Amino acid sequence: MSYEPIITPSIFSGFPVKAFFTTKTSGSDKDAVSKIAGIASNSIYLPIQKHTDKVLIVDYDVEPKIADAVITNRKDILIGVQVADCVPILLYDMQKNVVGAVHAGWRGTAEEILKKTIKAMMDRFCSIPSDIVIAIGPGIRWCCYEVGYEVIEAVEKVTSYVPAPKSKDYIIKKGEKYCLDLPTANKYQALSLGVSLENIWMSDECTFCLPEKYYSYRYAKGTTGRQCGFIGIV
């Protein structure tokens, strides 16, 4: 079965941005992404990801640096992140015309990388959270993401619920095992900063469940390719 090379979140419809998540079909191939986006491959910016909480502001210097989130207000560049089970998140400030791309694995989620990205947009560009629209792309879901309690504890410690559910609906306990839903945890972290629920789009696909469509590190049990999330101002 063949799949489309990209997924375009409806949340960005009508805004002056190009924003999409790639599938295995295009993966992280800059030439393929260049054709899809209609932008030169040397105008595609991917940071050097190390599961950090570092947020990089791309201005004039486009030399790749270590970071797991990127923000910019430049109009001549497509920024992105690479994933293979971790969650790709795209952001757009509707008023200040600023975009962001975030790589949120469990470590990044525990370090509040999405919240730090929003705060960086607030500090550098005077963004207001209620003006930000967010797309949370395909990642590993709780149906398949079994983790140790130390991971649950680390993510739970920094994740608020808005509004507060009766149970922590990004955690499932199966006997003595715990399963975590990283996309939902990140959604709650965005809500806790004042992003509106109606301004958040979230994929319902699990990368582990769809190995023919997405790269999954856990499914591959090691080395695998990457898909991406990209966004740019047009």
With the CA atoms of 147, 150, 188 and 146 taken in that order, what torsion angle do they form, in degrees rounded to the nearest 10?
Answer: 10
Q: State the pLDDT at residue 60.
A: 87
Q: Residue 70's domain spans which residues? A: 6-233
Contact between residue 230 and residue 19 where contact means Cβ atoms under 8 Å apart = yes
pLDDT-flagged residues of the chain (< 50): 166
Per the domain annotation, does 112 fall within a domain?
yes
Q: State the pLDDT at residue 223.
A: 86
Supply the pTM of this predicted model: 0.96
**Residue 20: which CATH number?**
3.60.140.10
Q: Nearest to residue 187, comparing CAs of 213, 165, 215, 211?
A: 165
Residues sharing a CB contact under 8 Å with residue 19, sequence separation 6 or more, in sequence order: 8, 9, 12, 90, 92, 99, 135, 230, 231, 232
Query: Total domain count for the chain?
Result: 1
Per the domain annotation, does 1 fall within a domain?
no
Q: State the pLDDT at residue 140.
A: 97
